[in-house]
Amino acid sequence: MQNSPSHTNAPYTLLPEDPSPARPPASSRRPVKVFAATAASVVFLTSLVMLIVNQSPETPTESDHPPRSDPLTSRATTSFSRDAGRLPTGVSQGVSAKSYPSVRDRLSYNWTNAMFAWQRTAFHFQPEKNWMNDPDGPLYYMGWYHLFYQYNPDSAVWGNITWGHAVSKDLIHWLYLPLAMVPDRWFDAGGVWTGSATLLPDGRIVILYTGDTDESIQVQNLAYPANLSDPLLIEWVKYPDNPVIVPPAGINPEEFRDPTTAWMGPDGTWRILVGSKVDGSGIALIYQTSNFTAFEAQPGLLHAVNGTGMWECVDFYPVSTNSSNGLETSVVGPGVKHVLKASLDDLKKDYYAIGTYDPVSDTWTPDDPEADVGMGLQVDYGRYYASKTFFDQNTGRRILWGWINETDTDYDDLAKGWASVQTIPRVVTFDNKTGSNILEWPVEEVESLRLNSTEFDDILVEAGSAVLLDIGMATQLDISVEFEIEGSDALEALEEPEAIIECATAQNRTTLGPFGLLVLADKSLSELTPIYFHIAKSTNGSLTTLFCADETRSSKALEVFKKVYGGPVAVLDDEKFTMRLLVDHSIIESFAQGGRTVITSRIYPTEAIYGAAKLFLFNNATGVNVTASLEIWQMNSAFIRPFPLEEM
């Protein structure tokens, strides 16, 4: 439709050395083997520290990692005094901060139940209630996609971490299953934390996960399905002789977590990574195994980067440089690059780099040392963390999950009864045009939710104006838009150089913008979230395009943390400025230039909700006009509910 804008059940095959699938009783006694490896690892750590010194690039300077206001450890100005002595949720338990800000006993905005109800998403995955964080062990098995996730069954704040479990036929409509694993052994008494699944060639499934022991030591544990003939994989068995990996000497026992999916090396043995840090350097420790019950630490590291702090939720996978197909995790060879990703605990950001993996030495080298992990590209420049990929053997895709966490208060979350959302799954491919980054794009299955569409062609957006788009409801949308700057020599007209090239607020006007969309805006523009391109000229005369999301005016609630997110995006000579947005109530996922740069926004409007939410084009340039062409789909809600087990 064309429209016009208005202006203004078989038994499980046991793993080797596994005496029985029966679950042993909980015990607080720690086996002697937990400590047996300590002496042997002293030599390993000595060589490890030397390796970091020799292989890591120059320590990032203050300009590489400028001081930033981290929403997990600082807070916006409110009418309440800050409890400066209280740590954010999770920190004292040895994990990254799980709350922002540190206010649990007061509610500063007069939220209503209707406002809270509007915030809940319609087609993103989230539990029925309570707290959720990292995605865990995603896999495809016997016709079902499985998603496990960090979950607190008792409360909407972090704690008592178990593995939630849900299944789907299409990655969009989900059915909740019973909890997969709960903290009921000494080796995970403090929580069943993040882990990964590996599909073995003989059809078996193994899961490695971090357990927080009864003495607050982070160890790696093994679990597997009780019944491989069950496509729902409802019952899971914890290996009786857990843990299978303990912290080596010299590693902080509270900084050793999140094992990766395993891959097989040329010698026929399996490898996994575990994240940690040494002397402020983020590191990926590498272990080998032939049976997943006995692991051997390798003398070196897969990789390390000075000054990046604790690496958690490490991910490591191959991408094809000559095909859009995904690759199984063990693939190496010509036409293959490897992505190394780490979630940086200090910055609460997911960074990645593309490089070359040597399967003989078990080392990885970045293509661009100046854009190493933690120094260059981010998986997502917004409110996004703890991402995890898996190879979907059903469709031949590499699929990415990520956690969207909150920026309101713990008390707000308790009041609404839930916290956190997962992103729409994304397909990951190598960007053959640039050769230096990955592309992330929503799985095509989300398009099954599209309802009626509205098209706008060549809409003129004059300098300093906003154009209201008449689309009806604006809270569940899939938006595709192309922008063109009027005038063939417009880019050369940019005169003002910028000493620091970074996303600024959408109110910061230059000759060429910013220009883009105002999402979840009320009609008076008292609340709005601009998603936009900003073209900047550096002091040496070069031009950089930034893709940005400005949350600073997204909500009138003062206790909500709000900032400007974004990063650079390559716009090639033969390309227009393009973006795609998935708007789902309080979540906006924004993809620029086919997914080269992605920003996830978590916002809390107080007025731009329900029918009051509007969509605008805007152009805040001082010197040029832009034209925009759009196709906008209203989106249906996904079917997400408990699995009807009683009907089986």
**What positions carry a catalytic annotation?**
134
Instruction: Tell how strand 587-592 and strand 597-602 pair up.
Output: antiparallel
Whether cis (ω within 30° of 0) applies to the bond prior to 243 is: yes
Across 229-360, where does the E strand assignment appear?
236-238, 256-257, 263-264, 270-278, 281-289, 295-305, 311-320, 336-344, 349-358
Among positive and negative, which fits the CA dihedral 85, 91, 97, 103? negative
DSSP, collapsed to helix, strand or coil, labels residue 373 as coil
DSSP, collapsed to helix, strand or coil, labels residue 88 as coil
Instruction: Tell how strand 438-442 and strand 426-430 pair up.
Output: antiparallel
Angle, vertex CA 149, rays to CA 638 and CA 211, nearest 5: 175
Name the DSSP class of 44: H
Q: Where does residue 328 rank: exposed (0-12), middle (13-18), buried (19+ CB within 10 A)?
A: middle
CB atoms within 10 A of CB 407: 23
The b-or-e profile of 5-23 (16+ CB within 10 A means b, else e) is beeeeeebeebeebeebee
Q: Give the H or E element holding residue 513.
A: none
Spatial separation of the C-alpha atoms in residues 558 and 195, rounded to whole Å: 36
DSSP, collapsed to helix, strand or coil, labels residue 369 as helix
DSSP, collapsed to helix, strand or coil, labels residue 117 as helix
Spatial separation of the C-alpha atoms in residues 175 and 167, rounded to whole Å: 5
Among positive and negative, which fits the CA dihedral 86, 91, 97, 98? negative
Spatial separation of the C-alpha atoms in residues 216 and 94, rounded to whole Å: 8
Spatial separation of the C-alpha atoms in residues 219 and 30, rounded to whole Å: 12
Q: Where does residue 98 rank: exposed (0-12), middle (13-18), buried (19+ CB within 10 A)?
A: buried
> Alpha carbon of 230 to those of 170, 195, 549, 633: distances in Å?
19, 21, 44, 38
Spatial separation of the C-alpha atoms in residues 155 and 417, rounded to whole Å: 8
